[in-house]
Amino acid sequence: MTRIKDIKVWRENLENTKPYTIAYKTTDQVESGFVEITLEDGTTGIGAGNPSHYVTGETLDACMAALEEKNIQFLIGRDIRGINQLTYEVLGKMPKNPAARAALDIAIYDAFTKHLGVPLVKFLGQKIKSLPTSNTIGIMNVEETLKEAEDYGKRGFSVLKVKLGINLEEDIERMVKLREKFGNKFTIRIDANQGYTTEKTIEFYNKTKHLNIELIEQPLKASAIDEMKKLPEEIRQVIAADESLISPKDAIELVKPPRASGIFNIKLMKCGGVSQALKIADIAALEGVDLFWGCNEESIVSITAALHAAFACASTRYIDLDGSLDLGKDVVKGGFVLKDGVMYCNDKPGLGVERI
């Protein structure tokens, strides 16, 4: 009754109702791949994959090709209780397709924990009950930035993540104006998406440190690990490595002295799902690195999986899991509770999502 009987794969456009711009692209569509696993007893598990081509090199077409029947047939007839072996084999079959792996990995975890009758976060060991998520402001002018911040405040959000990285002077002005208008109403994080040089990173930090910016996400190019390690320690401590951190192997490189960043940004679509995310989290815990869980524009399915993983890690300090909030539609509902900008897992088995 615990064996995998069937696997369904499909793709769907979830429609982005609010296109936004970051340092290297504008997002106006959200196409995702989905996987649904059915066990012999009728239990189902769902997973989702939304690749970030610029970061991992994986396109949605490549993701869907990796999920073709011939590539996932090895899972049919396998016992879901061998979850660690199954996720290990998925990694071996699809080393260059993290979003495809994530979709399968999440579906396996969902089916397994639904079979057990417990929420995924309880199976993993819940360390955290709730955290406020940031909501993202894309690259825009000062007036638009202030308007969007005001709108988010009215919706109950207290944490903003502001996209920067194209024009340093304008970036600094946006930070100054946010504090002038709102004072300390918002916690502010920034994400330069690899848009700065070493010199610009230092200049931004020096000119904004009085504004109480919580963290600086990936200011330098993903490959610029050596340059990150040469930044002053006080700056490195508030840097969150994002595009530089794809795999557990990258995590090991980042923590080699001198440590490149004091914060790891984990995304399931970069690393390949819950199993690999937890390996990165273990490295962070051993090295005293804080965790910051992020996302792409994604289905509730994978956002919820990331939330469960995040809340199972004692090193988690920050979440940026707003990726499903502006979708025009989705294939599920539920998964998490969002109240006044604070996220909670629900208490239903598995991911706690329900097909629409």
Where b means 16+ CB within 10 Å and e means fewer, 69-95 reads eebbeebeebebeebeebbeebbebbe
Instruction: List the end-to-end C-alpha distance of the chain, in Å, as a whole number.
Output: 25
pLDDT at 20: 67
Query: From CA 332, how far away is CA 45, in angstroms rounded?
Result: 12
**Ranges of H-type helices in the chain:** 53-56, 60-66, 69-72, 83-93, 98-116, 120-124, 142-154, 168-182, 198-208, 225-230, 233-236, 248-255, 268-271, 274-287, 300-311
pLDDT at 22: 72
Alpha-carbon distances of 149 from 91, 160, 342, rounded to whole Å: 40, 7, 16
Query: From CA 23, how far away is CA 25, in angstroms rounded?
Result: 6
Domain assignments of the chain as residue spans, ordered by start: 4-117, 122-355
> pTM for the full model?
0.97
Burial of 6 (0-12, 13-18, 19+ CB in 10 A): exposed
Per the CB < 8 A criterion, the answer to whether 116 and 124 are in contact is no
Q: Which string of DSSP letters, residue by residue, matches 83-130?
A: HHHHHHHHHHH-TT-HHHHHHHHHHHHHHHHHHHTSBHHHHH----SE
Query: From CA 245, how far away is CA 272, in angstroms rounded?
Result: 12
Q: Which string of DSSP letters, residue by residue, matches 145-185?
A: HHHHHHHHHHTT--EEEEE--S-HHHHHHHHHHHHHHHTTS
Torsion of CA 330, 331, 333, 335, to 10 degrees: -100
pLDDT at 154: 98
Phi-psi region of 273 (alpha: psi -120 to 50; beta: other; left: phi over 0): left
Mean pLDDT of successive 10-residue stretches along the chain, which has 356 residues: 98 87 70 98 99 96 98 99 99 98 99 99 99 97 98 98 97 99 99 98 99 99 98 99 99 99 99 99 99 97 99 99 96 98 98 98
Domain 122-355: give its CATH superfamily: Enolase-like C-terminal domain (3.20.20.120)
**Is domain 4-117 given the CATH code 3.40.50.10470 in the classification?**
no
φ/ψ of 222, rounded to 5, equals -55, -35
DSSP letter at 54? Answer: H
